Chain A
Amino acid sequence: MSHETDTDDLAANTAAGTGTGSAEANRAGLGTGSGRSWRFETARQGLSWETHYKPVLKYVALAILMIWMLFPVYYAFVNSLKTPEMIFTTSLGIPFLTFDPVAFSGRNAWRTMWSAFPFGRYLLATFVVSVGTAGLATVCAVFAAYSFARLEFPLKNSLFVLAVAGFAFPIVLLAIPIFVLLQRIGLLNTYMGMILAFTAFTLPYNIWLLRGFFEDLPENLEESARVDGCTQIGAFFRVILPLSRPAIVSVFIFAFLLAWHNYLMAFIMGSDALHTTLPVALLELRGTFFVRNFHYIMAGTFLTMAIPIVMYMYLQKYLVEGLGSSAGVKG
């Protein structure tokens, strides 16, 4: 008996101790009459949400979100395995994976797409440009970000603002002047021109992300490395860089994906067959015999989507850390 009153008092104290919230709860409980029953009442309500609705609703919500998110990917994949005739008889447009021998024979898009269209070359061009961009952007951004985070030089703040502002500037506004410039100096239709341009577009964001990361590292890391006899550059390479691996990996992926995703500049700068990237090729395919090439378009679309999605899945943790810490979560 005495034990019971003890716990009741404790609960009442906790409730009273939290200020306005408990006042509201008290008001809500007034209708039930006594001070004892409002606590009972709210506890029961809380339980019904926590034990009855929430566990079900969260799975329903997850299922809806996942179906919505993954359906287009599934759609592209399953349709890529069918022949155009099969696609044109889908009911309601929801494709199902059928193990039709025709689809898995020589008419399967995944077998013939490489010879019907130069998909191999598209893939290669996209990889060359993306890897080149990612490499160059990561190296440039690491040095620039370290410089902004730890070194002193004149006009530092203004330069930083300028570098970050470049990121927000829409690429389409730069497309025309860059096109004219690259044409004049003969970098049009070269991997070098594409890599340089993509690197410039992705750099501001990468610098911003890495600078934030470097600034969060404690300064005495380098101090102690230098007490142990490292030079400043040595401390940078031996202490800072290994610690920044998640940030550097996410910067690398971002730059890779920017190049992989980009249509506009790739379309403008790589218009010949050798430098056509996958997004550019896809939209060109769409224009030519859309109906007859339906399964090729679906296969190409799935290929273009699947590679970055796999990369994202694999490096999800790094990316979430990187994105989350950069985009205003700190501020």
Chain B
Amino acid sequence: MATIDRFDRGDRSLGDRILDEYGSLQGILFLLPSLLLLGFIVFYPMIFNGILLSFRQFTLDPSLVNPWVGLENYQYWLFGGGQALFLFSIKMTLLYELVVIPFDLMVALAAALVLNETLPARPLWRGLMLAGYAAPPVAAGLTFAVMEQAASYGVVYNFLNMFFSVPASGGITSNSPWAFWGVVFAKVWRDFGFMYVVFLAGVQSIPKELYEIAKVDGAGPVRRFRHITLPHLRTIIVTVVMIRTIFTIGKVEIPWAVTQGGPVNYTTFLGVAIFKQGFLNWSLGRAAALGMMFSLAIIPLIILWVRTETEDYD
């Protein structure tokens, strides 16, 4: 604001003049609480503790001295005993992304299109569609875990069992190819709401006249969708897919609640692997090393996303 008021400096109060002179100071002051918090909780631990921890053998036992071990933690994952899990969890994480994101996208788009139609009590339906997104991931995952048991109450199991033969011992959550899908069902149910809201806003911003003109020209519903709806949503889809990809990689809650990373390590995606290593085996050094490697992989993605988001800003 300092720039606007330069011309009328004459009849301004002393306080305002001080503010103008020190406009930049005020900007920093307003920012200070946030910067302190972010620096203290996010950047300082990330840079100092995170990097340093990954070079130590770190446990919480106070009698141990937590010795420096150099690259041993990295070696463990890349060439040592953790190699198999490391490679496997990378593979499963990629697979998870490749299944969850398109699944999310399709359901969200369908929901947005349906709820953009004129319906009685539409605001109610629009709100109820967000039930999954409002539910905590752990509660959603737990409900799905219960529904996926091979038991009288396991509704998802019973339903799937009509078409496929899922082994009865352990149900969906403890048998290897099924557990993955068990996590995916819960994940899509809980997470598609974000994309749905964004698509709903996007669909609403398409001018109605375009559809009217297309109708006059004889374009059917499929064509109208392909030539009007999709092109209008293209940038939104790209952004949202990017956001969801980044956010899905590191999420622990749903896989943890549904399968706890099992059977064995079948649904131990990278985030779950870090969590298990750190807070179940309590070998924080190894977990930090895995986290550092993971960060190196994810930072380019984040930079790409931030650059597309702030393009108009610079």
Report A's interface with B, CB cutoff 8 A.
11, 14-15, 18, 21-22, 24-25, 28-29, 38, 41-43, 45-46, 49-50, 54, 58-59, 61-62, 65-66, 68-73, 75-76, 79, 87-95, 139-141, 143-144, 146-148, 150-154, 156-157, 159-166, 168-181, 183, 196-197, 199-201, 203-204, 207, 219, 222-223, 226, 231-233, 257, 260-261, 263-264, 267-268, 278-280, 282-283, 286, 294, 297-298, 301, 304-305, 308-309, 311-313, 316-317, 319-320, 323-325, 327-329, 331
A-B contacts, 6 of them at CB < 8 A, read A54-B117, A62-B119, A69-B131, A152-B2, A153-B27, A196-B37
User: CB-nearest residue of chain B relative to A309?
Assistant: B134
The 7 closest A-B pairs by CB, nearest first: A170-B250, A324-B201, A93-B155, A42-B218, A328-B239, A153-B27, A200-B41
Give the residue name and chain of the B residue nearest to A300 (CB): B139
Q: Among the listed stretches B77-85, B121-129, B174-182, which one makes contact with chain A, having 4 or more residues with CB under 8 Å of it?
A: B121-129
Nearest CB in chain B to that of A321: its residue = B201
Bound-state Cα–Cα, A140 to B37, Å:
9
B61 located at the interface, meaning its Cβ lies under 8 Å from any Cβ of chain A in the complex: no
Q: Are A168 and B38 closer than 8 Å at their CB atoms?
A: no
Q: Could you say which of B135, B291, B305 contacts A173, with CB atoms under 8 Å apart?
A: B291
* B262 interface contact, C-beta 8 A: no
Q: Is B215 interfacial (CB 8 A cutoff)?
A: yes
A134 to chain B, nearest CB (A): 14
Do A181 and B31 contact each other (CB < 8 Å), given the known contacts A38-B218, A168-B246, A328-B239? no
Task: Please report the total number of B residues contacting A with Cβ < 8 Å.
Answer: 128
Please determine whether A324 and B143 come into contact, CB atoms closer than 8 angstroms.
no
A61-B110 in contact given A15-B217, A320-B200, A331-B311 (Cβ < 8 Å): yes
Q: Does B101 contact A (CB under 8 A)?
A: no
In the complex, what residues of B have CB within 8 A of residue A72's CB? Answer: 132, 135, 140, 143-144, 147, 189
Asked if B63 is an interface residue, CB under 8 A from chain A, the answer is no
A contact residues around B310 at 8 Å (CB) = 157, 160-161, 164
Question: Hey, which chain B residues are within 8 Å of A76, CB to CB?
Answer: 139, 143
Question: Which residues does chain A contribute within 8 Å of B125, judged by CB atoms?
Answer: 62, 66
Within B276-308, the residues touching A (CB, 8 Å) are 278-279, 284, 287-288, 291, 294-295, 298, 301-303, 305-306, 308
Residue from A144, A183, A309 in contact with B30 in the complex, judged by beta carbons closer than 8 Å: A144
Interface residues of B in 245-287 (CB under 8 A from A): 246-247, 249-253, 256-257, 271, 274-275, 278-279, 284, 287
* Other-chain contact of A88, B48, B134, B151 (Cβ < 8 Å): B151
Contact B119 A172 (CB under 8 A): no
A93 touches B275 (CB 8 A): no
Contacts of A311 in B (CB 8 A): 134
| Chain A contacts for B38, CB-based, 8 A | 162-163, 166, 200, 203-204
Task: State how many angstroms separate the Cβ of B74 from the closest Cβ of chain A.
Answer: 15
* Residue B216 lies at the interface, judged by CB distance under 8 Å to chain A: yes
B92 within 8 A of A: no
- Does B213 contact A21, Cβ atoms closer than 8 Å? yes
One digit per residue, 1 when the CB lies within 8 angstroms of any chain A CB and 0 when it does not, for chain B 10-23 equals 00010110010001
- Chain B residue nearest to A267 in the complex (CB): B279
B140 touches A176 (CB 8 A): no
Contact, CB under 8 Å: B114 / A65: yes
Scan B143-161; emit 1 where CB is below 8 A from any A CB, else 0: 1111100011111111100
- B187 shortest CB reach to chain A, Å: 13
**Nearest CB of chain A from residue B26's CB, rounded to whole Å:** 6
- Supplied contacts A282-B138, A297-B142, 18 more A-B pairs, CB within 8 Å: A18-B216, A59-B119, A93-B152, A143-B30, A144-B30, A144-B31, A151-B24, A160-B313, A172-B274, A173-B250, A181-B44, A231-B13, A261-B137, A263-B253, A283-B142, A305-B131, A309-B130, A331-B235
Q: How far is the CA of A148 from the CA of B310 in the complex (A)?
A: 13
Question: Which residue of the partner chain, among B3, B142, B240, contacts A286 with CB atoms under 8 Å?
Answer: B142
Question: A interface, by DSSP: helix, strand, loop or mixed?
Answer: helix
B31, B111, B250: the one contacting A171 at CB < 8 Å is B250
Q: A323 contacts which chain B residues (CB < 8 A)?
A: 194, 197-198, 201
B68 interface hit (Cβ, 8 Å): no
Docked complex Cα distance between A14 and B211 (Å):
14
A21-B217, A157-B313, A323-B198 in contact; A65/B110 too (CB < 8 A)? yes
Cβ–Cβ < 8 Å partners of A160 in chain B? 310, 313
| Among candidates A93, A175, A219, residue contacting B156 with C-beta atoms closer than 8 Å | A93
For B201, the closest partner residue in chain A by CB is A324
> Is A174's CB under 8 angstroms from B45's CB?
yes
Known: A164-B309, A177-B45. A88 touches B33 (CB 8 A): no
CB distance from A186 to the nearest CB of B (A): 14
Given contacts A147-B30, A176-B287, contact A316 B123 (CB under 8 A): yes
Which partner residue on chain B sits nearest A151 by CB separation? B27
Q: Which residues of A lie under 8 Å from residue B218 when comparing CB positions?
A: 21, 24-25, 28-29, 38, 41-43, 45-46
Rounded to whole Å, the gap between the CB of B120 and the closest CB of chain A is 10
Give the distance to chain B from A204, nearest Cβ to Cβ, in Å. Answer: 7
